[in-house]
């Protein structure tokens, strides 16, 4: 499956920081609400005042368990918090509380569909781990009387760092993985997924190698806060690394930043190794113990997962796997589909309409499906009128347009626009006879074996019927008349 770039294989692994949707911080009771005045949401623990002690937020642990269950991972019965030591102005403790040797979530996988040429292939990315940690504060460089400022509101915000194996082989795969992961965390509700606000931050580790060779040295691209930038940044980085190697240079492990203005990646710092952080177990926090009964309870309370729902769509509605995956992009889309399919009894048609016309219209107006002016019941009614032959597919698109623009209900729009299909054989036969009489050349050519000559007849017939003739019926009648 791997696509070579100038004879090189691309290798990508992801580290994603998902901000957990708790009300308070991971080790303190301060609020994590976004957008507050600087330093109004930093308590003594977050400011690292001497004598303060961290207390584990159970809600953060529960969200980590939910994530582990969603990706079929092992939830450690006993995991350890560690101090990751480094100095930075936005980290007053001088260390970040994280997990190192024994993370709470171990293994697991994320799989998704990918379009390669005309084919749809399934790709599975193995996860290495997901661990709980606290976020740091923020340095503000907007000049406070010639100085930088520190905002500690973000300090102690709960994060789940999700680390993959180096399993991705192209920027397309990487973006598809990130989108799938985003779907999972928002679906199960452990993260709001807001990339602009930094709730879902992806770092891409990128290297290239000759196929079959050992892994190349990676560079880590930091903070890719949109799927579009993610792809651009990786593509640029891959070309840059190949150019370096082709020019006889070796790649140095480094952390780089993507600049959306220039479309380039730029070295930020040489990469630290684990040893640089002098990790050791945090003596202020006991091991995190998760009983199996807790895991079972969380499991029993979790909503149906996207991949489970997709499997059910394949089973219950006889949908192709591809459709089922598309329709489980979000809970709202899935609910819209199920409501439509149940109301009209035509699941595949409902799927076609939702993935086609509905999503085209939503995209064009940058709307989410919750805001769609056409309800599932209306779409079902429209599909009903196609399958009972009242209107053609073409006419249905006009009715849909009318529904979207609030021109009324399905039958009223069909009536008002005069879109009813001509189902009266007598009337249609007369039109066909007229067209046949007026186009003797096409008739002859068709009879002589040129199947294409039929198009020259169908066109004028549809035109004469003002588009109201049923194409299937027209074909059947033509065949009958032409022998
Ligand atoms: P660190 O924590 O120092 O960044 P890790 O070993 O945890 O290092 O790896 C981080 C990420 O880098 C993982 O997602 C892993 O899959 C990926 N990775 C490791 N080696 C490579 C490589 N040679 N090329 C691309 N990605 C890699
Ligand atoms: Mg890392």
Q: Given CATH 1.10.10.410, say whether it is the number of domain 425-481.
A: yes
Q: What single DSSP character describes residue 314?
A: H
- Is the separation of the CB atoms in 52 and 62 below 8 Å? no
Contact by Cβ (8 Å): 65, 264: no
Residue 472 — pLDDT band, cuts 50, 70, 90? Answer: confident
The predicted structure's pLDDT at residue 389? 87
pLDDT at 180: 95
- Which part of the chain has CATH 1.10.10.410? 425-481
The per-residue b/e assignment along 421-460, b for 16 or more CB within 10 angstroms, e otherwise, is: bbeeeeebeebbeebbeebeebbebbeeeeeebbebbbeb
pTM, to two decimals:
0.83
Comparing C-alpha atoms, which of 273, 199, 295, 206 is closest to residue 245?
Answer: 206
Helix 425-438 / helix 471-482 crossing angle, nearest 10 deg: 60
pLDDT of res. 476: 86
Minimal CA–CA distance to 422: which of 462, 481, 457?
Answer: 462
pLDDT 10s digits, 170-188: 999 999 999 999 999 999 9
Task: Quote the pLDDT of residue 2.
Answer: 64
Task: Indicate the Cα dihedral angle 135, 222, 272, 10, nearest 10°.
Answer: 140
Q: What is the pLDDT of residues 316-331, one digit of tens each?
A: 999 998 899 999 988 9
Say yes or no: CB of residue 166 within 6 Å of ligand 1. yes
C-alpha pair distances (Å), 81 with each of 78, 283, 433? 10, 9, 84
Cβ of 165 closer than 6 Å to ligand 1, yes or no, is: yes
Ligand nearest to the CA of 127: 1
Say if CB 241 and CB 207 are below 8 A apart.
yes
For residue 439, how far is the Cα from the chain centroid? Answer: 53
The CB of 251 under 6 Å from ligand 1? The reply is no
Instruction: Indicate the average pLDDT of the chain.
Output: 93
pLDDT digits (tens, 9 = 90+) for 81-120: 999 999 999 999 999 999 999 999 999 999 998 888 888 8
As a whole number of angstroms, the distance between CA 152 and CA 126 comes to 35
Ligand 1 centre distance from Cα of residue 315 (Å) = 38
């Amino acid at each position: 499956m791997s696509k070579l770039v100038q004879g090189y294989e691309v290798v990508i692994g992801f580290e994603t920081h998902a901000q957990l949707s708790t009300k308070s911080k991971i080790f303190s009771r301060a609020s994590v609400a976004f957008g507050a005045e600087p330093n109004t949401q930093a308590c003594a623990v977050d400011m690292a005042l001497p004598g303060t002690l961290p207390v584990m937020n159970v809600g953060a642990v529960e969200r980590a368990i939910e994530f582990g269950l969603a990706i079929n991972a092992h939830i450690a019965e006993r995991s350890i918090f560690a101090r990751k030591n480094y100095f930075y102005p936005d980290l007053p403790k001088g260390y970040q509380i994280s997990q190192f040797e024994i993370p709470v979530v171990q293994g697991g996988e994320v799989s998704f569909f990918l379009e390669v040429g005309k084919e749809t292939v399934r790709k599975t990315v193995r996860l290495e781990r997901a661990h709980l940690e606290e976020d740091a504060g923020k340095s503000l460089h907007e000049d406070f009387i010639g100085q930088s400022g520190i905002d500690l509101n973000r300090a102690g915000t709960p994060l789940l760092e999700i680390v993959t194996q180096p399993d991705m082989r192209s920027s397309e795969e990487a973006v598809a993985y990130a989108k799938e992961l985003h779907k999972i965390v928002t679906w199960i509700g452990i993260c709001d997924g807001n990339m602009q606000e930094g709730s879902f931050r992806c770092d891409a580790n990128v290297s290239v190698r000759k196929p079959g060779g050992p892994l190349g040295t990676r560079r880590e691209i930091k903070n890719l806060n949109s799927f579009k930038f993610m792809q651009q940044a990786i593509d640029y980085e891959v070309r840059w690394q190949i150019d370096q190697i082709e020019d006889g240079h070796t790649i140095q492990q480094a952390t780089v930043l993507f600049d959306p203005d220039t479309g380039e990646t730029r070295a930020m710092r040489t990469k630290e190794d684990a040893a640089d952080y002098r990790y050791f177990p945090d003596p202020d926090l006991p091991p995190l113990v998760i009983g199996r009964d807790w895991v079972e309870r969380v499991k029993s309370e979790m909503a149906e997962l996207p991949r489970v729902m997709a499997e059910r769509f394949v089973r219950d509605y006889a949908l192709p796997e591809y459709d089922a995956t598309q329709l489980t992009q979000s809970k709202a889309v899935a609910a819209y589909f199920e409501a439509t399919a149940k109301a009209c009894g035509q699941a595949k048609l409902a799927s076609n309409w939702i993935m086609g016309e509905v999503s085209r219209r939503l995209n064009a107006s940058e709307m989410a499906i919750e805001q769609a002016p056409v309800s599932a019941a209306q779409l079902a009614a429209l599909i009903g009128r196609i399958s009972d032959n009242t209107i053609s597919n073409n006419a249905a698109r006009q009715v849909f347009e009318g529904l979207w623009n609030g021109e009324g209900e399905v039958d009223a729009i069909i009536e008002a626009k005069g879109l009813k299909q001509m189902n009266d054989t007598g009337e249609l036969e007369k039109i066909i006879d007229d067209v046949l009489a007026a186009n003797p050349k096409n008739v002859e050519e068709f009879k002589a074996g040129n199947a294409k000559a039929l198009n020259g007849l169908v066109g004028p017939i549809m035109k004469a019927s003002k588009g109201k003739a049923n194409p299937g019926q027209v074909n059947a009648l033509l065949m009958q008349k032409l022998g």
